[in-house]
Amino acid sequence: MRHWERPHYIVANRFWRLSLWVFFFVYLVVGIGSIEINWIRIYEGLERGSHFLSAFLHPDFTTRSTDIYAGILESLTITVTSTVAGILLSIPFGIGAARNISIKPIYLFCRAFIAISRSMQEVIVAIFLVALFGFGAFAGFLTLTYATIGFLGKLLAEEIEGIDRKQLEAVRSTGASWLQSIHVGIWPQIMPRMIGLSFYRLDINFRESAVIGIVGAGGIGATLNTAIDRYEYDSAGAILLLIIIIVMICEYLSGWIRKWIS
């Protein structure tokens, strides 16, 4: 009779394998033990939460209606302009960052730019840009454009790296120039997914525009922040409801468009 047992591929050594498990559980126990739970604060928080919840159930759309309207309009403006600018700028970065069609120095530059853009959360970028350009929509526009370049540039580069190379080779073999081979050999292969991703980014940008507004980058987030500062939870509730509704509409529309394209 021959003995067989499944080899351990990840950690082959039995001693290290057991040690890792022991370390994991000890860390888990110590970690849980180190969390301070202050029940009084939780109780107070729950009470505030209930105020908030009751205001939520009686949202006040009217008192601050002009502020809300202006905020939403500004957020939508930021969203649309930054998405369009971001898409346009992500194309050269995405092409540059695709290993199979780019040259080394450009590849490294574009990858680095994208990596930096993706490593910084929108809120942090927004704080920085608000400090540079002052409060308002312009900082929000720049923040989201920058984030969109990182997001779409990376995905575009990955799409290009994943294309069927035979189609590109065939187009190149006809004597097509570099630009022509991208337009005819690559673009048709990645187009449906790029359009889908662009709409996906559009609804991410709307959500983000509400968040970065809180740190001063304009839009509905700024209106929401003001409302909370003034303890106008009923207006804040109205704003949150509007954000949720708009996000849901965006998500539904972008899903529908993506399905229609593919």
Partner 1 sequence: MLKIQHLKKQYKKGPLVLKNINLVIPEGQIVGLIGPSGAGKSTLIRCINRLIKPSSGDISLGGINLSNASPRQIREQRRYIGMIFQEYALVERLSVMENVLSGRLGYLSFWQSFTRRYPQQDIDNAFDYLQRVGLIDHANKRADELSGGQRQRVGIARALAQDPRLLLVDEPTASLDPKTSRQIMRLIQSICREKGLPAIINIHDVPLAMQFVDRIIGLQGGEIVFDGLASELNEDVLTRIYGNEDWQPAGNDQDKGDE
- Does the protein bind partner 1 through residue 120 (CB under 8 A)? no
Residue 180: Cβ within 10 Å count: 13
CA distances from 137 to 8, 140, 184, 201 (A): 55, 5, 38, 18
- Does the protein bind partner 1 through residue 34 (CB under 8 A)? no
- Does the protein bind partner 1 through residue 193 (CB under 8 A)? no
**Do 148 and 205 contact (CB within 8 A), yes or no?**
yes
- Does the protein bind partner 1 through residue 166 (CB under 8 A)? yes
Cβ distance to partner 1 smaller for residue 37 or 179: 179
Residue 149: Cβ within 10 Å count: 26
Q: Which residue has the tokens 């939870």?
A: 233
Q: Which residue from 82, 150, 156 is spatially nearest to 114, judged by alpha carbons? A: 150
- Does the protein bind partner 1 through residue 191 (CB under 8 A)? yes
Residue 89: Cβ within 10 Å count: 16
CA distances from 118 to 32, 143, 152, 153 (A): 31, 12, 10, 10
Cβ distance to partner 1 smaller for residue 176 or 247: 176
Stretch that binds partner 1, among 24-32, 92-100, 178-186, 253-261 (CB under 8 A): 178-186
Stretch that binds partner 1, among 31-39, 160-168, 205-213, 245-253 (CB under 8 A): 160-168
| Residues in binding contact with partner 1, number by CB under 8 A | 22
- Of 34, 66, 119, 173, the one binding partner 1 by CB under 8 A: 173
Cβ distance to partner 1 smaller for residue 189 or 225: 189
- Does the protein bind partner 1 through residue 180 (CB under 8 A)? yes
- Does the protein bind partner 1 through residue 184 (CB under 8 A)? yes
| Contacts made by residues 249-253, CB under 8 angstroms, sequence distance 24+ | 250/202, 250/203, 250/206, 251/203, 253/199
- Does the protein bind partner 1 through residue 162 (CB under 8 A)? no
Cβ distance to partner 1 smaller for residue 44 or 164: 164
- Does the protein bind partner 1 through residue 179 (CB under 8 A)? yes
Which parts of this chain interact with partner 1 (CB under 8 A)?
164, 166-167, 169-177, 179-181, 183-185, 188-189, 191-192
